[in-house]
Amino acid sequence: MKLKSIILSFTFCTTIVSSNIVIINNVFVQHNKINVFVKQNINWSNSNIDQFMYSGEILGYFIYKSSDISTNPIVKKLEQNIIKNKNIIYSSSANTDGVNMQNKNVFETALIASIVNISIYGMTSWSEFFAEAYSKWTTTPNEMKNKSWEILNNFFTIIYPELHKNYFGKRQNTWLNILNFMDNFLTTNSVVVYQTTLTMKPTVVVDLKYDGLFGFQQIIPNNMAIESNNYTFNALKSALVKWQNSSYDSINRFSHNLINQYVINYDNNNLSNDLAIMMNDSYTKASVKSVNRYNELLNSLQKEYYSSFQTLSQSLKEHTDLVQESKANSSTIMLKDSIDAMAKYYDWTNNKIITFEEQILNLFNLTNYVTDKNFKYYLRSFIFTPDYPIQGQPEQTMAVTATAGQAIRNETFQYFLAVEFATVLFTGVAFNQEREGGIILIKIIKLVDEVRQTPLQH
């Protein structure tokens, strides 16, 4: 299930260290190791961090409203099976009061999100979902742009920039206004809708370059050893957890036997083939209008922000110059120097370098666009190293991020006020990975979600 064409993105398909928050005096730092700085035990659930990090949930809602999944009869059968068997599916200690038809939109949102954005890693949290979706939007080649991509394009080119300018803030103050804005947009504009009930693939299909079955086309195996890599299994687990609003730790409870017996194949009514049908609209090409809007945006951003990779590199180098602070003739972001060094170290071809630089240019321009230029002030440093594994980190860890900002704390609660900056450490190994002609880079996309934590201090 690998993409064969060249896809350059700040993402990777192994594992990345999940971020946590640590406190240094009155400054919070999002870091991969919770015990690096904190000297006392803190109940991290007693914090307001989710008041700031919710772009993934906004995107999930937009995708949900850009689909027909709420009227899908197969999804209704799944929901009825789950409600009927919820005392078996969930642990006896779990509160399943919320697993009802009044809250079914939570389950449906999780399902359609996993259809539009194909990523098992993106199911682990809404933050990671946002990062994977952003990567898909910025890196999908024109010939592979499908209806799912078009929905993401609508969100990132129309909805998200508007939210940055006028709506973002603490969740409790802005959530309903954000949902109302999106609802109004969707009802007053003719937008593409993902049809989960499409019984046949379109006549002209997009070649998505998968080696085999993908998404809900994969039937859950009766084999515990391989179930963890099955897409349908992971998507249903994630949706079950979100519907019950439980910790992701409880996801380990669900097995292929449990989901097959009580969700998919209850009363000998096997829904596996019906689930596969929901992937049919993934083969529908994105509209020419949507693709042209994206390409025109890239061209306009090269005039507004950075016209070339060299211009981008020089600007960031000057922006992060250390001369004033330490008289050191150096900067904390030196893209061209870093790429040149890696190209020499890993013996890259000129074509690979050019493609790489173009992808990075587009990524930075698009990120400045969707964050209303705040990304430039937020990103403090890029650090590249040929070392692998990164010291103190397990293998497969390709990047370590740290985000700093202002917070008020006591022994039991962390109250976050604002973000200040972020630093990222990469291992060059991830930049050099190739699969089926593809190059997999490092993910920093979820920083886009963090940039909108206000106020930024420039």
User: In which element (H, E) is residue 422 found?
Assistant: strand 414-427
- Cα–Cα distance for residue pair 269/81, rounded to 1 Å: 10
Dihedral sign, CA of 214, 216, 217, 223?
positive
Residue 366 located in a structural domain? yes
Q: Which residue has the higher pLDDT, 111 or 436?
A: 111
33-35-40-46 Cα dihedral, nearest 10 degrees: 20
Residue 5 located in a structural domain? no
pLDDT tens digits for 143-191?
999 999 999 999 999 999 888 888 777 677 788 889 999 999 999 998 9
Q: What is the pTM of this model?
A: 0.81
304-310-313-314 Cα dihedral, nearest 10 degrees: -90
Q: Are 112 and 260 in contact (CB under 8 A)?
A: no
Q: Are 5 and 209 in contact (CB under 8 A)?
A: yes
* 346 pLDDT above the threshold of 70: yes
Q: How many domains does the chain have?
A: 1
What range does the domain containing 366 cover?
20-451
Tokens at residue 225, please? 């050893």
- Cα–Cα distance for residue pair 208/343, rounded to 1 Å: 29
Query: For the residues 410-422, what does the mean pLDDT come to?
Result: 66
Residue 269 located in a structural domain? yes
Residue 12 located in a structural domain? no
Count each helix (H run) and each strand (E run) in the chain, helices first: 19, 7
pLDDT tens digits for 261-287?
999 999 889 999 999 999 999 999 999
Which residues, other chains included, contact 400 with Cβ-Cβ below 8 Å and sequence gap of 6+? 17, 31, 32, 390, 393, 424, 425
- Cα–Cα distance for residue pair 245/50, rounded to 1 Å: 14
Q: Give me the amino acid identity at 431.
A: F
Q: Are 457 and 22 in contact (CB under 8 A)?
A: no
In degrees and rounded to multiples of 5, residue 419 shows phi and psi of -100, 150
Strand pairing category for 379-385 and 414-427: parallel
- Cα–Cα distance for residue pair 132/121, rounded to 1 Å: 8
Count Cβ atoms within 10 A of the Cβ of residue 369 and give its class: 0-12 exposed, 13-18 middle, 19 or more buried. Answer: buried
pLDDT tens digits for 46-78?
455 566 678 889 999 999 999 999 999 999 999
Residue 295 located in a structural domain? yes
Q: Give me the amino acid identity at 414.
A: Q
Query: For the residues 8-22, what does the mean pLDDT come to?
Result: 31
* 404 pLDDT above the threshold of 90: no
Residue 14 located in a structural domain? no
Residue 1 located in a structural domain? no
Report CA Rg, the chain.
22
Long-range contacts of range 246-253, CB-CB < 8 Å, 24 or more positions apart? 246/90, 246/94, 248/124, 248/125, 250/90, 250/91, 250/94, 253/90, 253/91
Long-range contacts of range 340-347, CB-CB < 8 Å, 24 or more positions apart? 341/384, 342/384, 342/386, 342/428, 342/431, 342/432, 345/386, 345/428, 346/428, 346/431, 346/432
Tokens at residue 253, please? 């409870």
- Cα–Cα distance for residue pair 50/54, rounded to 1 Å: 6
* 438 pLDDT above the threshold of 50: no
Q: Are 418 and 369 in contact (CB under 8 A)?
A: no
pLDDT at position 251: 58
Residue 377 located in a structural domain? yes
pLDDT tens digits for 206-247?
999 998 999 999 999 887 778 888 999 999 999 999 998 865
